[in-house]
Structure 1
Amino acid sequence: MAEVESPITRQVTRENGESGGPLVDIRLEDVEDCLIYDRHGVAFPFKKLYQDRKSVIIFVRNFLCYSCTEYVEDLSKIPKETLQDSGINLVVIGQSAHHHIEPFCSLTLYPHEIFVDPERCIYQKLGMKKEEKFTNSAHPSPHVKSGIFMGQMKSIWRAMTSPAFDFQGDMDQQGGAIIAGPGSQIHFSHFDMNRLDHMPINWLLQLAGVQQTLDFSDKPKIIHV
């Protein structure tokens, strides 16, 4: 079970953990008017996601990335009632064209809100990292089940079999997560160092105010009788 912590605004990485680290200067005012697009190609400003309520916003690398796919598959397991009871909005943002949203949701079974930032306006203005950095102290995401080789093969196969063959975003762009709102308040931020550097979902939910701890394990449940 992840430890519940008070909301924080500093960047957390696998390297600095809880020992402190460089502060990340995030100003939502810099990105509030950046346009995001829904699955129908309808545009609206980014600030609409967090103006009226607290939102957990996940930025993924690209929709072909196997680690992002498996991370979003676990996000799809979060019951809508859990979010509604806590007054929280859950949003995934990608960097592809909007017509890739529907196939990605069908693949991951993701039922919550999802949008795209095809110009990477938010990614760039928030300072999300380009290229990957791996360290010996890094801990892989608990939500990624595939190894790197098989995962990359899955990504390549999906690119080759896609009706619109493209890489669905900048392959060097890394993602991240923020908890924001209501208003321009930032409660937490994390920028991924590499494809495996996702923040554990239970941690994000608890920082946002969800009291329930969810089980994302695929292992069979043992029933004691």
Structure 2
Amino acid sequence: MVLRTLHLASLSNLFPKKLVAMENGSWKISKWIVAGGSIKEGRWIVYDKTGIESSVTDEEDVANLLDTVKVVGLNGVEIPISDLWKDRKAVIAFARHFGCVFCRKRADYLASKKEVLDASGVALVLIGPGSVDQAKTFYEQTKFKGEVYADPSHSSYEAFRFVSGFTKTFTPKAGLKIIQLYMEGYRQDWKLSFEKDTVTRGGWQQGGIIVAGPGKTNISYIHKDKEAGDDPDIEEILKACCS
């Protein structure tokens, strides 16, 4: 069987649970189930419920799946997350939550290179789990130079399989970073941190950074935070987006 090649091996971290069904002699993804997918030598492989390799999707299938993940802009309009990069290249940061002190540092750290991004035609976007009101407060407080979106359902975090958990949040390294950030003048917004949209998830969510586009399935860089405050080297991001 000839396997179609997708753009990027990094897509192996997207949408691990899918059902494939035979339609007109070819396999198509139809809905979520306990099955799996992975990349083998740049090819997107899907598995049936028994774990047997069945076929591969094409780029249209992956694009359709990305369209099911929605984020909400500060204007209250919901869009598929892939709209953020389908017609442009973008650096997209995923915050732990909108009150997080680490995320305020991440916003500044990326915004410090806004002129470089602009010169390369690269958009800067930050997504946070929570409500649009929380996103608006974050935007007003930080004066972030890029675009801000809320993910009330956390679906983008689940799609990219960003880690979550108490032990991923309170680590010795993260504790030292908090002290450093407070010495630099950064502060946690405890009011935002204890709002329902954050508390219901425990505030243990970690984020990451991707570089994507143009093209819905064109994801050229993925960094997943291993713990709170796990920012990659800025030059690594610039190399991925602007070289």
Q: TM-score of the superposition, structure 2-length normalised?
A: 0.64
Q: Is the 8 A contact 2:168 2:204 kept in 1?
A: no
Query: Please, which of 141, 147, 161 is the counterpart of residue 107 of structure 1?
Result: 141
CA distance in 2, matches of 1:139, 1:87: 35
Give the match for residue 198 of structure 1.
231
Q: Is the 8 A contact 1:54 1:182 kept in 2?
A: yes
Deviation digits for residues 133-166 of structure 1, max 9, x if unmatched? 38x9x977xxx96418959x943xx324x6x961
CA distance in 1, matches of 2:234, 2:182: 23
Q: 1 or 2, which has the higher helix percentage? A: 2
Q: CA RMSD in A?
A: 3.3
Deviation at 1:98, TM superposition (A): 0.4
Query: Please, which of 210, 223, 228 is the counterpart of residue 178 of structure 1?
Result: 210
CA distance in 2, matches of 1:67, 1:50: 25
Give the match for residue 190 of structure 2.
159
SS in 1 for 2:124: strand
Q: Is the 8 A contact 1:175 1:191 kept in 2?
A: yes
SS in 1 for 2:79: strand
Which amino acid in structure 1 is aligned with residue 90 of structure 2? S
- 4+ residue segments displaced more than 4 Å: 148-151
Give the match for residue 52 of structure 2.
none
Q: More displaced, 165-174 or 96-105? A: 165-174
Which amino acid in structure 2 is aligned with residue 120 of structure 1? H
Q: How many residues align?
A: 181
Deviation at 1:168, TM superposition (A): 4.9
SS in 2 for 1:104: helix
Give the match for residue 214 of structure 1.
none
Gaps of 5+ in 1: 1-7, 11-22, 211-225
Residues 1:148 and 1:89: Cα distance change in structure 2 (over 3 Å): same
SS in 1 for 2:92: strand
Gaps of 5+ in 2: 1-7, 16-61
Q: 1 or 2, which has the higher strand percentage? A: 2
Residues 1:167 and 1:174: Cα distance change in structure 2 (over 3 Å): farther
Deviation digits for residues 82-126 of structure 1, max 9, x if unmatched? 223212111110011001222212222212111011100111122
Q: TM-score of the superposition, structure 1-length normalised?
A: 0.68
Sequence identity (%): 27
Query: Please, which of 80, 87, 103 is the counterpart of residue 45 of structure 1?
Result: 80
